[in-house]
Every structure is written in C-alpha cells, then in structure tokens.
Amino acid sequence: MAASKAISSHPEAERAATNALEAGGSSVDAVLAGFLAIGAVEPGALLGPLAIMTAGVGLAPRFIDGRSAQPGLSLTRPRGVRDDEPIAPAALAAAPRSLAALAVAHAFGGTLAFEALVHPAALLAATLGAERRARFLRAFASHGATVLAQSDSVRALLSAAGTAANGMLGEEDLRPHAPLDEAMAFVALAGGSEAALSPSSFPTAAAHAPQQSALQSAHRSPQQSAHRSPQQSALQSAQQSTHRSAQQSSQRSPKRSPQPSAHRSAQPAPQQSASARQSEIVLAADALGSVAALACAPDPGGIEVAALELKLPRDAIAVRRGVPRVPPGTQLYQPLPIALVRHSEAQWLAAIGVPAPIELTLAELGGHRTIAALLARLLASHAGGVAFAAAATRGRRGPTTQVCRAPDRAS
C-alpha cells in the first residue's frame, strides 16, 4: 500500500499533518492537524477564515467553507461611522466560523479521534509558552465548536470586540453556525483534465469591499499598517441557529443575494478588500487515494483577545452612517487559493494550493497532463510565488501518492 503524504507552506503544519497520517489518519485528518498546528503557533489563525476541499476515488469533491461572517446577529444596528471618523479597531473584528468548519470536515472525512488531532496542537502551544492558547485548544478538544459559546470564551471575545469595545460581536455570533458544506462538480477542461474550485464571490460583502478598503486605508493606524501583508453536515441545532439568525437579520437588513455554488468559481473574483492577505496551505494524499486541501488566512494584526492569546480577523465591514449595512451573518470574502484537479487518462487526482492572496482560475488549471506541468503553469501565472500539490495516482496495485513543491523540491 502506498505511503500517505502531506505538504504545507508552514513547517509546523507539515510536521503535524505527516504525524496524523503516520498514526493512520485520513487526508482530512492530516489537513486538520496541520491547521491546528498553525493555530498553535500563529495567534491569528484559529479564529481566522479557512476553507477545506476533499475528494477520493468514487467520491464527489466536497467543499467546507469556514470563512468569517459579518458580526452583529441579534444586536441593534449601530449608528455607524461617518466618512470623516476613524474606525474603531474592534469594529473590524469578524465572527469566527473556522472551528465549526473543522468539526464538519472531521465528521465527513476524519478517521482519528478528534481529540487526537487537537491535543498535539495544545502541547505545541504550551511548549511555545502560549499556555492560555493551549488551554483554549484543550477546551476545543472537549467541547468542539461550542467552545466559543462557553462562558470564559464569551467574556474574552466580547471584551475584545463586543459593543463595549465599539465592536459588533455578540453572543449569537459565537454560537455554532453551520458552515457552507456542499458537494461540488468537476468542470471539464482541455486535455482531459477537470477541476473543482471553491466559491469566489460573496455578493453582499464584495459590494462593500471597495468602500471598506478606502475607509480602512484612510484611518488605519501605523501599528495596523505594519501588520498588513503585501500580499456529514453540521449539527441540526447549529443549522436551526443559523436559520433563526438569518430571519432576525432579514427583519433589520436588506435581503442578501444567494451565495454561488462552489463549481461557479470561474466567475471573476470580487474586488479584494484591504483585508486580503497571505494564505497558508496544507495538502495531503492518503493511501486509499483520497486527497484534501486546506487554506487559511491568519491575520497577524488582528484584534487581540488577550485572555485566550488569540486574534480575531479584521474582515468585518464597518457600519457606515446612512448606508445599508452588510447583513449580520453574511460570509465575508477572503481569497483562499486551493483547488482539486484530476486527469482522466493519467489517472491522478491532486489537491493544489498557492499561498498567496489570490484566486485560482479554471484557465490556469486545465490542459496539463502532469502535475509538474500544472505547477509550472501556476508559477508562471503568479510570478515569485510557490505552488504545492498532493496527489494520488491509480494503478494496478492500488494508488500511489506524491507531494510536490515548486520551484523548491519534489518527492
């Protein structure tokens, strides 16, 4: 049987993902373990946006979206900021959806116990001296996505980004809300290849991105500027909570446009807000022929939650006076460049990722018989970058796996 393999743009994530595979975990287990390791090291990762894709032999590709949401569920609309007023940092703190996405992904494709994935990350955080972050991770292992609704977490998060801090985060935002979790369709491309991409457009949030970018640029503090980079379903209770929240929000705000299906990502990406930032990538291929990809976008200059040693991402759209607000609960745009690609004749299935604030397109993914050629094309499209792949190839004796990193190395 082929050895399972993992690769990542983050060294701790690659180590953790490989350890999960060696313990008998699936490709999904591996990318979750990798993300948790990033979360142990980077305070802006655990509560930041992420996306997960997975597929296997005979299985339709699956997309689980843990991008952040506009806060303010069940809260009265604030008056809003005038154009000549600075934005309070806490007003940019988004509601996390990452932990719920991890739980859904594990339920769909995980084989190891969830605690077995989280505890190594908690140990890593403690080793680095981040004991409060380690304590939060241990609580996450015990409570799952409901950890955010635990009293200690609620106090810490609302103190950092609630109304008392001029933020929009409320208790309803911290309850587990079901992430977007749907099957995708491969799109036929040139040369016998097919690709599946994540959604690239969230209409309501995207429409506000240009004005938010201008506001943030005009009023960002020097300290914030220094942190900017250049570049299977959820629990029924969570679904009901999301439905109730949407109903409450619709009574106060204009109805939002529906989100596009995952396979419609060939459409042009919306204009990026000032919060678009570098991604971290974790990819894995297991011995059964399944692959998984995870991308996350930690915000190093996020809103500090000191009691947890974590940071909330600055992805929310600040409410402007006299302007309709983005409805609370709306998923917020953040480019997370991962994709699944397969070739019918060469019989390989690959998870692809580029750690950059970009959107991948069908045009650059099609027409490549080899994975090396595909990565070379990605490098040509995104000069100066790095591209990663984890692939499983069908053979007479079962699947073989490989991981590739271009331009550095291949194995």
Q: Quote the pLDDT of residue 152.
A: 96
For β-strands 400-406 and 310-312, DSSP reports them as unpaired
Alpha helices (H) in 110-229, listed in sequence order:
114-127, 131-143, 151-161, 203-219, 222-227
Per-residue pLDDT of 280-318, as tens digits, reads 999 999 999 999 999 999 999 999 999 999 999 999 999
Taking the C-alpha atoms of residue 116 and residue 184, their distance in angstroms, rounded to an integer, is 29
Percent of the chain beyond pLDDT 90? 64
What is the pLDDT confidence band of residue 26, given thresholds at 50, 70 and 90?
A: very high
pLDDT confidence band for 409 (50 / 70 / 90): low
- Which amino acid type is present at position 208? H
Model confidence band, residue 395 (pLDDT cutoffs 50, 70, 90): confident
Ranges 162-171, 191-200, 360-369, most confident: 162-171
Question: d(Cα 63, Cα 51) in Å, to the nearest integer?
Answer: 7
pLDDT at 275: 56
- Residue 65: in which H helix or E strand, if any? strand 59-65
Tell me how far apart the terminal alpha carbons of the chain are, to the nearest angstrom: 17
Q: Delimit the domains of the chain by residue range.
A: 5-410
- Among 112, 135, 93, 156, smallest CA distance to 20 is for 112
Tell whether the model's pLDDT for residue 17 goes beyond 50. Answer: yes
Q: Is the pLDDT of residue 45 over 90?
A: yes
Q: Which two tokens stand for residue 372?
A: 């090396």
pLDDT at res. 191: 87
More confident site: 215 or 68? 68
What would the mean pLDDT of 113-132 be, rounded to a whole number? 98
Q: Can you tell me the mean pLDDT for 69-79? A: 93
Give me the chain's average pLDDT, please: 82
Residue 410 has pLDDT above 90, yes or no: no
Range in 101-115, 238-252, 319-333 the model is least confident about: 238-252
Q: State CA 291 to chain mean position distance.
A: 17
- Six-digit token string for 371: 């994975």
Q: Which of 136, 135, 318, 367 is nearest to 213 (CA)?
A: 318
pLDDT > 70: what percent of the chain? 79
Examine the pLDDT at 408 and tell me if it is beyond 70: no
DSSP 396: T
